[in-house]
Amino acid sequence: MAEHSEVFISATTRDLASYRREIKDTLLSLQIFPIEEISFTRAYGPLKEMLRALIGRCDAVIHLAGFYYGTEPPQRPSREPRRSYTQIEYDIARELGRPIYLFLATEEFDNTETPTQTDEEKNLQFAHRQAIQTCGDLYYWFASTEQVANRVKELRFPARGTAAPRRVINLPYNSLGPLFKGRDSTLVELRQRLMGGGGRRSFAGRWRSGKRPWAPSTPKWRLA
């Protein structure tokens, strides 16, 4: 069974939440599985380890940079520069060599909320935006969710490689393809809830004879 591509969405939440949702819906319409980090409580070290595992299994990253710095993880080592959660996602994607599709908000971009931030945080985000503009990679300007959605539809994401991790009984699954057609949104929500938890959850069940191999009859959950 062919695997669908998985794309990590990296963007601050307070000012770009509507853009994240738009990208997620657009990816689903393209039969691409959107991946997000929705837990913002991890300390610096565990956060980086988790992001390496999460982004490492994705085929590409979409990174949006607005004008809001965002939240940063606690317990930052003194040798490490200040970076927000979203900026660290960008750093990890670079470190792992993942294809990154870059989007920069214009001064006039449609934003329903303008969070307050310190002058230092403004400068840190400005420096991040400048780094994107001078990194030599292609980036796209955006001023509305419609512009972002249209651009995402035009992108050509890498196909799921044969070396991509495949899990048979452990959740979260890789994309389940046409067997769950029409249930993509439910699977996304399920995956995010599981990945945001404090432990590893496994899925076990007996298979009915004559049923498709991905349809468990009497599932049960256990926390490992």
User: Is residue 13 a contact partner of residue 37, using CB atoms and an 8 Å limit?
Assistant: no
In CATH, what number is assigned to the domain containing residue 17? 3.40.50
Question: Is 184 inside a domain boundary?
Answer: no
Q: Across the chain, what does the average pLDDT equal? A: 78
Question: Is 183 inside a domain boundary?
Answer: no
Question: Is 182 inside a domain boundary?
Answer: no
User: Is residue 36 a contact partner of residue 192, using CB atoms and an 8 Å limit?
Assistant: yes
Joined tokens for residue 56: 């490492």
For the segment 186-210, the average pLDDT, to the nearest whole number, is 49
pLDDT of residue 203: 39
pLDDT of residue 104: 98
Structural domain harbouring 98: 6-164
User: Is residue 129 a contact partner of residue 84, using CB atoms and an 8 Å limit?
Assistant: no
The top-scoring range by mean pLDDT among 2-16, 32-46, 184-198 is 2-16
pLDDT of residue 220: 41
pLDDT of residue 185: 57
- As a three-state string, the secondary structure of 31-85 is CCEEECCCCCCCCHHHHHHHHHHHHHCCCEEEEEECCCCCCCCCCCCCCCCCCCH
Question: Is 152 inside a domain boundary?
Answer: yes
**pTM confidence score:** 0.71
Question: Is 77 inside a domain boundary?
Answer: yes
Q: Predicted confidence band at 205 (pLDDT cuts at 50, 70, 90)?
A: very low
pLDDT tens-place string over residues 108-117: 998 877 789 9
pLDDT tens-place string over residues 48-78: 899 999 999 999 999 999 999 999 988 888 8
For the segment 128-150, the average pLDDT, to the nearest whole number, is 97
The percent of residues above 90 in pLDDT, for the chain, comes to 54
Q: Predicted confidence band at 191 (pLDDT cuts at 50, 70, 90)?
A: low
- As a three-state string, the secondary structure of 193-219 is HHHCCCCCEEEECCCCCCCCCCCCCCC
pLDDT tens-place string over residues 166-189: 433 333 444 444 444 445 555 566
For the segment 136-143, the average pLDDT, to the nearest whole number, is 96
pLDDT of residue 31: 94
- As a three-state string, the secondary structure of 176-187 is CHHHHCCCHHHH
Torsion of CA 144, 150, 153, 154, to 10 degrees: -120
Between 129 and 165, the more confident residue is: 129
Question: Is 175 inside a domain boundary?
Answer: no
Domain count, the chain: 1
Question: Is 35 inside a domain boundary?
Answer: yes
pLDDT of residue 188: 60
Question: Is 201 inside a domain boundary?
Answer: no
